[in-house]
Structure 1
Amino acid sequence: MFIGSQAHLIKNALDASSMRQEMISSNIANVNTPGYKAKRVEFEDVLKRTMDGSGMRGTHERHFGSDDLTSVRPEIRMQKGNRINENGNNVAIDTEMAELSANAIYYQALTTQLSNQYGTIRSVLR
């Protein structure tokens, strides 16, 4: 079902946003921890790779990878590119706060979209 697959994809995006919130909170909590490396949750890039065919595809049900958009899952990666402090930590509090705000807006947009999906279903059923 088309709407069901869209709702499932939005659910996965909401899960990624929730995971991203946890990672950002962890990064902020460890801003002064020596040697700590900031982590990022990637979902949109994984989804894009799956959509454009550059991601892994499963050719057998027991293979890893898939071209099914509903099976796209977030990935946790170490952040690269930030300046490393003298204690080996690369958390930039300004970046984390910007990511926190952006993620809140992203989450709100996803919940609105999911609500609209269910509203469409409700109107069809009436």
Structure 2
Amino acid sequence: MLDSVSLRSLHAALDGLSARERAVGDDIANVNTPYFTARRVSFESQLRSAVEDGTDPMAVRPVVTYSADPAGLTGNNVSLEAETLLGLDTSLRYDLAVRATSDRFSLLRTALRTV
């Protein structure tokens, strides 16, 4: 059965991953900006707790923090390699969540057609 908790969890995950993609994009765009500090977005542990506790996953908000990685000579701590890998990982996770959401709606459409 299609349950709203799963869809709400997927929606919350998409929100968090979208926020992370924006942060990674900003970090990459500022790789040469003096004194720029990379940002990190976390939401997975909060989302996991919400699902386990039975609370509303949509109440989970991504938390943006500044990276504690050491800065280079210009005071910038953005690593292009690390950001590229994080961006790739985030993109793959986002695509997976979109596919799971699409599958849920396909299941719902199929159920409605058979009624």
TM-score for both structures, normalised by structure 1: 0.78
Structure 2 match to 1:3: 3
- Pair 1:93 & 2:80 matched: yes
The equivalent residue for 1:41 is: 41
Report the 3-state secondary structure (helix = DSSP H, G, I; strand = E; otherwise coil) of the residue aligned with 2:100.
Answer: helix
Looking at structure 2, the residues matched to 111 and 6 of structure 1 have their Cα atoms a distance apart, in angstroms, of 13
Separation of aligned partners in 1, 2:97 and 2:20: 14
Q: How far off its partner does 1:97 sit?
A: 0.3
**Could you say which residue in structure 2 is the equivalent of 1:19?**
19
Aligned pairs for 1:19-98 (under 5 A) are: 19-51=19-51, 67-80=55-68, 82-98=69-85
Alignment gaps of 5+ in structure 1? 54-65
| Offset of residue 42 of structure 1 | 0.8
Counterpart in 1 of 2:111?
124
Deviation at 1:114, TM superposition (A): 0.2
What is the distance in 2 between the residues matched to 1:22 and 1:12?
16
Distance 1:49 1:4 in 2: 17
Query: How big is each residue's C-alpha offset from its partner over 1:50-86, in whole Å with a ceiling of 9 and x where there is no partner?
Result: 4566xxxxxxxxxxxx942232121111122x23101
| Unmatched tracts of structure 2, length 5 or more | none
SS of the equivalent of 1:104 reads helix
Give me the whole-angstrom Cα distance separating, in 1, the residues matched to 2:5 and 2:15: 15
Higher fraction of helix: 2
Q: What's the Cα RMSD here? A: 2.1
Identity %: 29
Cα 1:51/1:5, change in 2 over 3 Å: closer
Q: What does residue 100 of structure 2 align with? A: 113
3-state SS of the aligned residue for 1:89?
coil
Looking at structure 1, the residues matched to 102 and 18 of structure 2 have their Cα atoms a distance apart, in angstroms, of: 17
CA distance in 2, matches of 1:9, 1:52: 11
Aligned residues: 113
